[in-house]
Chains A and B, each alone.
Chain A
Amino acid sequence: MILDLERFQTRAGPRWSSLESLLATIEGRPDRRLNPMEAEQLQELYAKAAVDLNRVTHGALAPELRQYLERLVARAYSELHYVPPTRSELWQPRRWLRIFTLFPETFRRQSRYFALAVLITVLGCTLGGLAVRYDPAAVDVLLPANYLRNPGQRVHEEEQAKNHDRHSTQSEAAFSAQLIRHNIEVAMLAAALGVTFGIGTALLLFENGVLLGAVAVRYTQQGFGLFMSAWLLPHGVFEIPSILIAGQAGFYLARVLLRRSEDRDVRQSMSEWLVLIAGTAMMLVWAGVMEAFFSQHHEPVLPYWFKVAVGGAELALLTVYLLLIGRRKTDAEARNFPAENK
């Protein structure tokens, strides 16, 4: 009511439009970089628009003009205070390849959450194994699928290649894609369930462990231990650790959320979570390929000792990869920034 709106708008209008067009130019660029002249101009126009907004807010009743200026100031503010990632971060393929070293580094840095995931899975395994061992009634509850309950029949079918149609390369390809997709979905869910403060992740891992323990004991009990090892190991040595790492990501997320305070920069912690998921997905792609193309071939075609040996070799490679890759670099970083890795 103090402000002469008409005169105010006529005078300030041109600088609002030039701010608008400057913003449109900057927002059109994917990396949102400003050259020095634009930065200076943006700073100046932003300051003026902010003053105009204050004047309209306190000195006039013009909701529409106020809303217009608020949007303009908000956009300018976000461009002015945003620190764009450096160009090399975005467009250099080498940065994308860094995931192969970042993954084991992150895995080791957050290994206590991995230990927690292992602990819960082992608890589940023990419970599932003991239940099947000492309580025959538990078999029907814990092992819903028939092929899990009656190993003898399954082993016979597999060795006679009754599921022969599954074994053409074509169907194996389709089967592997389904496996990869399903497993990655489960792993992502385990990682995302961290948002329930880790309770969901723990339940999922525990359930997984119970099933694993029950199957292992059931097959071994009936004398098909070797068959089962040969059947599960080639893909299981990647699949099971990857679900454990997904659980690790879930517990890590829970921890980050629990101690998050307003001023904390969560960007770094969220990147670690993403790296763990990306690594898990890579492992599951391999596991899916192995499960469809290799694990489903049995004795007359592939000797069991060979399959077990392949599984053992994979496990050794995975262990070396997770424990050793990027280690020298991490040590160097730790020496340079001792506080960062605490």
Chain B
Amino acid sequence: MKDSQPIRWATMPELAIATPEGVLFRLPLAGPASRLYAMLLDMAIVLGTVNGIGLLIYRIFAKAPGFGVMVITLAEFAIGFAYGALLEGFWNGQTIGKRLFHLRVIDKSGLPLRIEQAWVRNLMRVFDALPFAYLVGGLSVLSNPLMQRFGDRVAGTLVIRQSPLVAPGEEFWTPQKYNSFMDYPTIAMKLRRAATPELASLIQDALRRRNELASYARREIYRELAAYLQAEISLFPDELVEMLSDEQYLINAAGVLFGDRRQSRVYR
């Protein structure tokens, strides 16, 4: 895992898929913790169901408790495996736990998984659960770049994070009626050309997370960023910079970087 990357979505392990049409997209892989929580929830659901059915069966077999125990023992066993296999196979790669934790099992080519794959990965649990508490499966997840347990490796599947689709909403910087950097089109153009994608995302993140940061941290981060931009990339005139707070400096820079066309029109 690449922990030191500045862009949030790149720090997660991903599956990159290049389609025949030449489109490249990435799917974020699920980590062991969320998978564990989902599994615990699923186990609770299975136990609850089995006990519910068990009570019913005890009532039905009140005069033949042995048969009651027989049915319960076998039902518990069958439900334990069939729950995961059938739900994943027929419900878009998700069990109830996986759906609540926004996880989904897919084929490793990015396609939905098939019912056979769902059965294989669930039957392989007997191996992944060895020697206790899914130790083998957990170690496999941690040691595999695609975060697969052995069941996933055999079935050719993997678990991805599938957070709900939210279309990006509002602009993240306060729209400015007048962006003073646009008074210096040459320098602004230089800033646009020189800014790397990482730097631009850094500015964007710093502004977006304004309210999450403690005030001293915000001051410090904004000061460093603005000083870096001013010194290394685009030298706006001192008389302009002196009038701006560091935050305003970054907001203006973001306006320049992310194509704030309206301001340039106002300027013209």
In the complex the two chains form, is B116's CB within 8 Å of A270's CB? yes
In the complex the two chains form, is B25's CB within 8 Å of A61's CB? no
- Picked from A65, A79, A173, the residue with its CB within 8 Å of the CB of B67 is A173
Residue count of chain B within 8 Å CB distance of chain A:
60
In the complex the two chains form, is B168's CB within 8 Å of A173's CB? no
Interface string of A146-182 (1 = CB under 8 A from B): 0000000000000000000000111111101110110
B92 within 8 A of A: yes
A1 to B120, CA, bound (A): 47
Of chain A, the residue at the smallest CB distance from B20 is A81
Given the known inter-chain contacts A30-B90, A61-B201, A253-B154, please indicate yes or no for A192 contacting B127, CB distance below 8 A: yes
B106 within 8 A of A: yes
Q: Which of A13, A30, A73, A195 has the most CB of B within 10 A?
A: A195
By a CB distance below 8 angstroms, the chain A residues around B65 are: 170
B213 within 8 A of A: no
Of the candidate stretches B34-42, B233-241, B255-263, the one touching chain A is B255-263
Q: Give B198 Cβ to nearest chain A Cβ, in Å.
A: 10
Of chain B, the residue at the smallest CB distance from A190 is B126
Given the known inter-chain contacts A27-B92, A85-B115, A180-B74, please indicate yes or no for A1 contacting B155, CB distance below 8 A: no
B166 within 8 A of A: yes
Q: Give B56 Cβ to nearest chain A Cβ, in Å.
A: 17
In the complex the two chains form, is B114's CB within 8 Å of A17's CB? no
Of chain A, the residue at the smallest CB distance from B260 is A6
In the complex the two chains form, is A270's CB within 8 Å of B155's CB? yes
A189 to B126, CA, bound (A): 6
Name 12 extra pairs, CB < 8 A, besides A2-B259, A61-B197, A267-B114: A4-B259, A6-B171, A30-B90, A61-B200, A63-B7, A68-B166, A71-B162, A78-B106, A193-B127, A271-B116, A274-B120, A277-B123
In the complex the two chains form, is B127's CB within 8 Å of A1's CB? no
Of chain B, the residue at the smallest CB distance from A30 is B90
Of chain A, the residue at the smallest CB distance from B154 is A195
- Picked from B77, B116, B168, B259, the residue with its CB within 8 Å of the CB of A267 is B116
Q: Give A160 Cβ to nearest chain B Cβ, in Å.
A: 23
A54 within 8 A of B: yes
- Picked from A53, A168, A189, the residue with its CB within 8 Å of the CB of B25 is A53
A9 within 8 A of B: yes
Using CB atoms and an 8 Å cutoff, list the residues of chain B in contact with chain A. Answer: 7-9, 17, 19, 21-27, 64-67, 69-74, 77, 90-92, 106, 110-112, 114-117, 119-120, 123-124, 126-127, 150, 153-156, 162, 165-168, 171, 192, 197, 200-201, 204, 257-259, 261
A174 to B126, CA, bound (A): 23
Given the known inter-chain contacts A1-B192, A78-B111, A78-B112, please indicate yes or no for A195 contacting B200, CB distance below 8 A: no
In the complex the two chains form, is B124's CB within 8 Å of A195's CB? yes
In the complex the two chains form, is B9's CB within 8 Å of A5's CB? no
A113 within 8 A of B: no
Lowest 9 CB-CB distances: which A-B pairs, in order? Answer: A170-B66, A177-B73, A192-B127, A177-B70, A174-B69, A173-B66, A50-B23, A173-B70, A70-B25
Interface size class of A (residues with CB under 8 A): 35 or more
A178 to B69, CA, bound (A): 9
In the complex the two chains form, is B167's CB within 8 Å of A13's CB? yes
A184 to B114, CA, bound (A): 24
- Picked from A50, A62, A181, the residue with its CB within 8 Å of the CB of B168 is A62
By a CB distance below 8 angstroms, the chain B residues around A170 are: 64-67
Q: Give B210 Cβ to nearest chain A Cβ, in Å.
A: 16
In the complex the two chains form, is A77's CB within 8 Å of B25's CB? yes
Give 28 pairs: A residue, B residue, CB < 8 Å, sorted on A. A1-B257, A4-B261, A13-B167, A47-B21, A60-B259, A61-B200, A63-B9, A68-B165, A68-B166, A71-B165, A74-B17, A78-B111, A85-B115, A90-B115, A168-B66, A172-B66, A174-B66, A177-B72, A177-B73, A181-B73, A188-B126, A195-B153, A195-B154, A267-B114, A267-B116, A270-B117, A273-B120, A274-B123
By a CB distance below 8 angstroms, the chain A residues around B117 are: 267, 270
A334 within 8 A of B: no
In the complex the two chains form, is B123's CB within 8 Å of A266's CB? no
A3 within 8 A of B: yes
A16 within 8 A of B: yes
Of chain B, the residue at the smallest CB distance from A256 is B154
By a CB distance below 8 angstroms, the chain A residues around B70 are: 173-174, 176-177
Q: Give A232 Cβ to nearest chain B Cβ, in Å.
A: 22
A267 to B21, CA, bound (A): 25
By a CB distance below 8 angstroms, the chain B residues around A270 are: 116-117, 120, 154-155
Q: Give B260 Cβ to nearest chain A Cβ, in Å.
A: 9
By a CB distance below 8 angstroms, the chain B residues around A174 are: 66, 69-70, 73
A22 within 8 A of B: no
A257 within 8 A of B: yes
Q: Give B40 Cβ to nearest chain A Cβ, in Å.
A: 21
A176 to B73, CA, bound (A): 10
By a CB distance below 8 angstroms, the chain A residues around B166 are: 68
Of chain A, the residue at the smallest CB distance from B125 is A192
Given the known inter-chain contacts A78-B106, A85-B115, please indicate yes or no for A184 contacting B168, CB distance below 8 A: no
In the complex the two chains form, is A16's CB within 8 Å of B167's CB? yes
